[in-house]
Amino acid sequence: MPYQGHKNWNHWNIALWISNDEYVYTRVQFLLSRKFISKNEIATVLLGELRNRWGDTTPDGAPLTFTGIRAHLTGVDRDDY
């Protein structure tokens, strides 16, 4: 069921944390600035880093998944982030 314009609550929650946690947002900006890294590679790197930072879930309980992170990156233009 769609949630706030996202596929589901989990994808929305992951996008919310990526966009609103200053460290994570800055890290995503850095990774997106590296044009030679694909969004799949960025999602893989970010998943590992977020799991090291938070564990297997966001701070409010959404499971951290590759698909949730990748879904957020799909709608992101590298030049706008």
Q: Would you state the pLDDT for residue 80?
A: 67
Enclosing domain of residue 60 = 9-74
Domain tally, the chain: 1
Residue 46 lies in a domain: yes
Checking phi first, is residue 30 left (phi over 0); if not, alpha (psi -120 to 50) or beta?
alpha
Reported residue count of the chain is 81
Residue 1 lies in a domain: no
Residue 56 lies in a domain: yes
Residue 44 lies in a domain: yes
Tens of pLDDT, residue by residue over 30-77, are 999 998 999 999 999 999 999 999 999 999 999 999 999 999 999 777
pTM of the full structure:
0.89
Residue 3 lies in a domain: no
Continuous H helices in the chain: 9-20, 22-33, 39-54, 66-74
Residue 59 lies in a domain: yes
Residue 80 lies in a domain: no
Residue 17 lies in a domain: yes
